[in-house]
Amino acid sequence: MQHTADILRRLCTHGVDFVVVGGYAVVAHGGTLVTQDLDVCCDFSADNLLRMQEALGDLHPVHRMTPRRLPLHLTRDNCRGLKNIYLDTDIGQIDCLGEIMGVGDFKEVKRRSLRVDVEGHELFLLELDALIEAKKAMNRPRDQEAILQLEALREREG
């Protein structure tokens, strides 16, 4: 989790507009899942993506969903039309998503998020009900376990 905190710190320090979603969001809400990557939903404007590239630059990010694992090299022009970016870095994986199934686009995801403090940095975390909706929409086996945990957390919060 320390590497995840470092990536989050970098994104915050560089002013990247994002919301934490996925497995790390489950853990942040009190779940016990093990997650291998950091999933964020972010504004896919060129300015925001270029800030993200700057934040991760010295971690040698490469596109992990391409056979040649090309280095991340964003420009104002090639940012147009991007919807998702899946990266490996020297310290871990990060998935940058333009929308979240079951919730909506970045604007809606951010509207349905909470401001939280992680190691002295304020960031946005997808709220519990929206996270449950996202996990239900994905409906993978690992999401089923997350749903059970999240619904138990919601019930406990009452």
Whether residue 99 is contained in a domain is answered as yes
Whether residue 154 is contained in a domain is answered as no
Rounded distance between C-alpha atoms, residue 34 and residue 15, angstroms? 28
Instruction: Tell me which residue range forms the domain holding 34.
Output: 2-147
Whether residue 108 is contained in a domain is answered as yes
Contact 89, 61 (CB under 8 A): yes
Whether residue 158 is contained in a domain is answered as no
Q: How many domains does the chain have?
A: 1
Q: Give the CA angle between residues 116, 147, 114 to the nearest 5°.
A: 15
Tell me the pLDDT of the chain (158 aa) as tens digits.
568 889 999 999 999 999 999 999 999 999 988 888 899 999 999 999 999 999 999 999 999 988 899 999 999 999 999 999 999 999 999 999 999 999 999 999 999 999 998 778 899 999 999 999 999 999 898 899 999 999 999 998 87
Query: What's the predicted TM-score (pTM) here?
Result: 0.94
